[in-house]
Structure 1
């Protein structure tokens, strides 16, 4: 089982360079970073986990810039977003950013896709909350058109379109980087995974023995190759029993949650987690 990590990197935490080097030296498989462009000071959207919104949410580094630093000082470490709020981006510019990072890292990038929880943040990007999922689906389609080997046009129903274009670099492993969709289990989420992704990034990983059979059934019904589905539990607080349970479910990668702390705090946690590696 591959043991990866995630952390809210901020202007107050360990740096991307120091963390990436420490992860690779210790044999960790990957680093996934979350995204928030900003947190409106006045909002009515509650924090999904309850209580006050933690300080680090409003101080996150741009994940693509931070991952580019991590890529530059490592050779094997996987790099990913957990998650990119695709609806908040210009998809043409995002396609270029993703392809560039994947190219420069030698194909090490995984695109984690999310739909967000903060209505005010999305509204500042001009996102209609009710249609953000379909907007995300179309923007993924547009990016795939730009990543195609031959110039390919794309036209979606929410005004998302691009004419047949020359767009380089291309993702290293053909077509697109690995795409994982994050979110809570349900028919809508599973429909998105089966339509355009390579798998699911369930937050915390609870209840998989109940939800995975449904996703696998829908995956096969959509004509997808059964063995190609990837399940990557995300932001997991590890225990031996929990990881053994994931292994029994056929899961090959788990993303452990690191604290948003200074260098000493994070390195100590990496060492505490080493038995799982």
Structure 2
């Protein structure tokens, strides 16, 4: 199992040292995410300070950009990193696409599929495999002249991963992408009952096999060195899960376990702005089903038990309470048990 993490990068200047730390710890990959800062710039810097670490976006917001723009970014990052880049794309949600980015939101799953296919068509053109002639419902790319054609990438085009939660977006990954990034608001049961069947539908549609795609499971990890720190980590996780659980889009995970009533109450409290009260609804049973919780020496085994037969790689995450040592001991334990 490959071991990744999404770097908690509040200060982009730390990209010079943070990703090197992850490489020295033994991570297979370090990813950025699009929040307060651009997800590509930090990785360009990180590429100059690392040699083996896989670098990727998990995720860059696809609908805030266009296929040609993403094709250029992905192609250049692949070259700069020496073939270590992963173009990870996600959709974000309608209000942010329309009101933050002033971009178009419509038919998100179909649009994401088309973005992936358009990027690959552009790369095929640059690789000399044929003229650029992509005509879709949302995007059209039919002109490419030598002045704007970078030619074949010395490392080949990078893989494209897409993130998703619902069945339609998950199926897009199976049909068109090279990898799938699962959402951390999942349990082993929801991954088995909801995610993998949707992924298989996409694979079947495109005539591909499960081995043709890498499944990366972003997994919320709750652990610490002391009881006090563990309690703080649990509280931060409960707050994060309460936020997710209040959103109708994430109901299917709770429904797998018969917890629809928890969602209804979380949703009601969120509309009243009662965020602290919401946290109390995430009891130990829910926390332990969604997150991997335990003493530090237990985490590696619990991660393997959670993802066995499901994922090819794990991305260790806890954005609201990041581990000060980047889970170095957990990575070591996972490597030992490989």
TM over 0.5: yes
CA-to-aligned-CA distance 1:32-78 (integer Å, 9 cap, x gap)? 11114xxxxxxxxxxxxxxxxxxxxxxx2211100011111111000
Match runs of 1:1-277 below 5 Å? 1-11=1-11, 15-36=14-35, 60-117=36-93, 119-148=95-124, 149-150=127-128, 151-166=131-146, 167-168=149-150, 170-171=152-153, 174=156, 176-186=157-167, 188-204=168-184, 205-206=186-187, 207-211=190-194, 212-237=196-221, 238=292, 239-257=299-317, 259=319, 267-274=324-331, 275-277=333-335
Residues of 1 paired with 2:81 and 2:311: CA distance? 25
Query: Which structure carries more helix by proportion?
Result: 2
Aligned residue pairs total 248
Provide structure 2 residue ranges, at least 5 long, that are not aligned to the other structure: 222-291, 293-298
- 1:57 is aligned to none
Contact 1:216 1:226 in 2 (8 A): yes
Whether contact under 8 Å (1:67, 1:79) holds in the other structure is yes
Deviation at 1:22, TM superposition (A): 0.6
Cα separation, 2, equivalents of 1:142 and 1:14: 33
SS of the counterpart of 2:77?
Answer: helix
Larger displacement relative to structure 2 (26-35 or 143-152): 143-152
Q: TM-score, normalised by structure 2?
A: 0.65
| 1:216-255 Cα distance to aligned partner (Å, 9 max, x none) | 3541343013321221002532533442235521522111
For residues 138 and 215 of structure 1, the distance between their equivalents in structure 2, rounded to whole angstroms, comes to 17
CA distance in 2, matches of 1:259, 1:14: 19
> 1:157-181: per-residue Cα shift (whole Å, max 9, x none)?
224324144422545554x421222
Q: Over the residues paired in the alignment, what is the CA RMSD in angstroms?
A: 2.7
Note the residue ranges of structure 1 that are not aligned, 5 or more in a row.
37-59
| Distance of 1:25 and 1:108 partners within structure 2 | 16
Which sits farther off after the overlay, 120-129 or 72-81? 120-129
Select between 116-125 and 20-29 the one with higher mean Cα deviation.
116-125
TM-score (norm 1): 0.78
SS in 1 for 2:325: helix
Deviations 1:133-188 (A, max 9, x none): 433333333322221122322222224324144422545554x42122211141x1
Q: Greater RCO between the two (CA within 8 Å, min separation 6)?
A: 1
